[in-house]
């Protein structure tokens, strides 16, 4: 049986890979590009990691799979909740493979915790609270895996970057990448799946933090030692080495799909959307919001003076203030619209009947407010450059369609990547982009990359592929029917022969593991996402 190897490179872009492949600095990419089909891969709108990967692995738009962000705002809730794999409402590729009687290995796909119990193995990715809950299937292997791979953990230690230790953070990312690969090679040997999904998610982190050392044109370009300056290129190199090992482990009769969930480019400026909504009169704040403004200062002082353990304790306990929760500064009765999560690029209307202290009537008032906000956000300019901070603002029904549309935020904002949007309160509307109080210089772009290589595919230029095309294309390569509900197309131009073209319904497959997060897991995860700069 033909095997399938899917390698996800979070945030990888041809803008980086192609020049370095052409010049021979990325020799494996050069070879795969010469022998395979490749081209840009359009991301979802807005181009975010959770809906991006979920669309890639379900073949449907977020309106059908229900994942829009790391967070969701349940009806009747004041603060967003962290999502789990139970929020995924469409079957993923690995569930379809399981139904077809094929064994798969899935490793490190974001927002897949708790693990799906498929034939083969499943290790959850970003959005996993820690190595105590159901992060590993088969669950009885978890303990032995932890013993054999003591350096494996969920997510790199972000405190290194918080203290500005760029070299130490790189060491940390490399050590974690080594441990992830060692663990998956170990699992491959023992489970021998016919399909493997492996995601390099730390590529995203490298590009977020090291971009300004690479690009001279960046407004905050900084000369640095070669290891820091070349961090992005060297990490792509490191990925090539890993890809060689994974290819060797899967064997020669394997189709290879390399994809990213979005592209990457320079990031310049943070936009404090709730501050702007307050200035415009749409958002009211509690008097104590003034105190929050002072927080970054005491946080910085704390970071310099207090040991890490105590800092964590303070963060956990001081948080229990009347302003607890990421939106704790909002005076709901005086609010008509708010920006809900840093990772969501979206605005919610404070709607009567849905929000606990809703102020806006559904229907005409809601529509009028959305139209007004859309126009104002599109006209919003960066005072330093006079550039618009949003490329497009969409009503949710303009970009998503499906039964879970009503879970989506009311307005979705697509920026051009040089701007990042913040959820926290600030005295300023704009500031140089940062995370953990350190410079953040790279961010997402709309076009990621797709490369198809192996016995099913031929050398070809791929022109118009979208994340939702990935699952239909891979099902066709495996000779399996495409789901009749899938939004994506088979990327036919990449196939060496005519691909299988049957369709079937996978509606009977449930999608996502049954269990929602326990409250302690959610608290743990919230802390982790905060560490990643998402809260
Ligand atoms: Zn991503």
- Domains plus CATH for the chain? 3-266+444-531 (3.40.720.10), 269-432 (no CATH)
CA of 447 to the centre of ligand 1 (A): 12
* Cα of 284 from ligand 1 centre, angstroms: 32
Q: Residues 196, 188: contact at Cβ < 8 Å?
A: yes
| Residue 104: CB atoms within 10 Å | 25
From residue 213, alpha-carbon distances to 166, 221, 229, 516 in Å are 11, 6, 5, 41
- Cα 50 to averaged position of ligand 1 atoms, centre (Å): 7
Strands in 328-475 per DSSP E: 330-331, 337-339, 346-349, 392-395, 411-414, 419-422, 430-432, 434-435, 438-439, 442-445, 447-453, 460-461, 465-466
262 alpha carbon to ligand 1 midpoint, in Å? 6
Per-residue pLDDT tens digits for 342-390? 888 999 999 999 999 999 999 999 999 999 999 999 999 999 999 999 9
pLDDT by residue (tens digit) across 127-171? Answer: 898 898 899 999 999 999 999 999 999 888 888 888 889 999 999
Residue 514, pLDDT above cutoff 70: no
**What mean pLDDT do residues 477-488 have?**
96
Q: How far is the CA of 489 from the centre of ligand 1 (A)?
A: 22
Going from the Cα of 479 to the center of ligand 1, the distance in angstroms, rounded, reads 29
How remote is the CA of residue 442 from the centroid of ligand 1, in Å? Answer: 12
CA distances from 316 to 94, 309, 321, 325, 518 (A): 37, 11, 11, 12, 18
CA of 261 to the centre of ligand 1 (A): 5
CB 455 within 8 A of CB 50: no
Compute, in angstroms, the gap from residue 69 CA to the centroid of ligand 1: 11
| Cα 358 to ligand 1 centre (Å) | 33
Characterize 76-103 residue by residue with b for buried, 16 or more Cβ atoms within 10 angstroms of its Cβ, and e for exposed: eeebbebbbbbbbbbbbbbbbbbbeebb
Distance 204 CA to ligand 1 centre (A): 6
Q: What is the pLDDT of residue 304?
A: 46
Asked if the model's pLDDT at residue 221 lies above 60, the reply is: yes
The 10s digit of each residue's pLDDT in 495-506 is 999 998 899 999
CB 393 within 8 A of CB 378: yes
Q: How far is the CA of 11 from the centre of ligand 1 (A)?
A: 5
Residue 37 CA to residue 363 CA, distance in Å, equals 48
Q: How far is the CA of 445 from the centre of ligand 1 (A)?
A: 10
CA of residue 78 to ligand 1 center, whole Å = 27
What predicted TM-score, i.e. pTM, was given to this entire model? Answer: 0.91
The H or E element spanning position 276 is helix 273-279
| Ligand 1 centroid, distance to 127 Cα (angstroms) | 12
75 alpha carbon – ligand 1 mean position (Å): 27
Q: How far is the CA of 53 from the centre of ligand 1 (A)?
A: 8
Residue 461 reports pLDDT greater than 80: yes
Q: Ligand 1 centre and the CA of 356: distance in Å? A: 32
Task: Tell me how far the alpha carbon of residue 377 lies from the centroid of ligand 1, in angstroms.
Answer: 25
Q: How far is the CA of 125 from the centre of ligand 1 (A)?
A: 12
Distance 379 CA to ligand 1 centre (A): 28
pLDDT at 533: 60
Ligand 1 mean position, distance from CA 10 (Å): 5
Cα-to-centroid distance, 438 and ligand 1 (Å): 20
Report the SS3 class of residue 51. helix
Q: What spacing in Å lies between the alpha carbon of 364 and ligand 1's midpoint? A: 36
What pLDDT was estimated at residue 328? 86
CB 427 within 8 A of CB 196: no
Digit-coded pLDDT (tens) for 24-63: 999 999 999 999 999 999 999 999 999 999 999 999 999 9
C-alpha of 163 from chain center: 24
C-alpha 91 to ligand 1 mean position (Å): 21
CA of 448 to the centre of ligand 1 (A): 10
Distance 351 CA to ligand 1 centre (A): 30
Residue 295: predicted pLDDT: 47
When the pLDDT of each residue in the chain is averaged and rounded to a whole number, the result is 90
Q: What is the pLDDT of residues 282-313, one digit of tens each?
A: 999 986 565 554 444 444 444 444 444 444 44
Cα 368 to ligand 1 centre (Å): 33
């Amino acid at each position: 049986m033909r095997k399938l190897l899917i390698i996800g490179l979070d945030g990888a872009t041809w803008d980086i890979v192609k020049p370095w492949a052409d010049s021979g600095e990325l020799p494996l990419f050069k070879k795969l590009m010469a022998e395979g089909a490749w081209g840009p891969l359009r991301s979802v709108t807005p181009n975010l990691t959770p809906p991006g990967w979920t669309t890639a692995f379900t073949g449907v738009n977020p309106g059908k799979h229900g994942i829009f962000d790391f967070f969701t705002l349940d009806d009747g809730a004041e603060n967003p909740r962290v999502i789990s794999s139970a929020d995924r409402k469409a079957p993923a590729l690995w569930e379809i493979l399981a139904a077809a009687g094929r064994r798969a290995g899935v490793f490190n796909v974001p927002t897949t915790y708790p693990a799906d119990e498929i034939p083969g193995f499943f290790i959850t990715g970003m959005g996993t609270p820690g190595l105590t809950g159901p992060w590993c299937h088969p669950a009885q292997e978890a303990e032995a895996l932890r013993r054999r791979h003591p350096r494996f953990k969920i997510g790199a230690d972000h405190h290194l970057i918080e203290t500005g230790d760029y070299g130490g953070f790189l060491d940390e990312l490399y050590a974690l990448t080594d441990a992830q690969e060692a663990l998956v090679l170990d699992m491959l040997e023992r489970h021998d799946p016919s399909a493997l999904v492996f995601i390099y998610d730390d590529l995203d982190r490298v590009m977020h933090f090291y971009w300004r050392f690479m690009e001279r044109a960046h407004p905050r370009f900084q000369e640095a030692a070669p290891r820091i300056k070349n961090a992005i290129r060297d990490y792509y190199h490191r990925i090539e080495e890993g890809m060689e090992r994974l290819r060797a482990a899967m064997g020669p009769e394997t189709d290879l799909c390399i994809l990213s969930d979005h592209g990457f480019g320079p990031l310049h400026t943070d936009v404090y959307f709730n501050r702007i909504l307050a200035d415009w009169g749409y958002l009211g704040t509690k008097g104590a919001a003034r105190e929050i403004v002072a927080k970054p200062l005491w946080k910085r002082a704390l970071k310099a003076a207090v040991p890490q353990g105590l800092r964590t304790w303070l963060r956990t306990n001081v948080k229990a203030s009347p302003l607890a929760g990421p939106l704790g500064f909002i005076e709901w009765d005086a609010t008509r619209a708010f920006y809900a999560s840093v990772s969501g690029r979206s605005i919610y209307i404070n709607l009567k009947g849905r929000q606990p202290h809703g102020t806006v009537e559904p229907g005409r008032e809601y529509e009028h407010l959305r139209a007004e906000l859309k126009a104002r956000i599109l006209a919003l300019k960066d005072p330093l450059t006079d550039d618009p901070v949003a490329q497009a603002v969409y009503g949710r029904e303009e970009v998503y369609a499906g039964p879970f549309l009503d879970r989506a935020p009311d307005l979705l904002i697509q920026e051009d990547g040089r701007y990042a949007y913040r959820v926290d309160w600030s005295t300023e509307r704009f500031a140089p982009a940062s995370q953990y109080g350190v410079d953040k210089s790279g961010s997402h772009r709309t076009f990621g990359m797709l490369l198809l290589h192996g016995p099913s595919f031929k050398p070809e230029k791929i022109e118009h592929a979208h994340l939702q095309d990935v699952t239909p294309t891979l099902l066709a390569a495996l000779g399996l029917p495409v789901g009749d509900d899938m939004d994506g197309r088979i990327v036919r131009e990449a196939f060496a022969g005519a691909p299988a073209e049957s369709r079937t319904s996978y509606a009977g497959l449930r999608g996502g593991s049954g269990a929602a997060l326990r409250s302690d897991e959610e608290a743990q995860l919230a802390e982790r996402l905060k560490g990643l700069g998402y809260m």
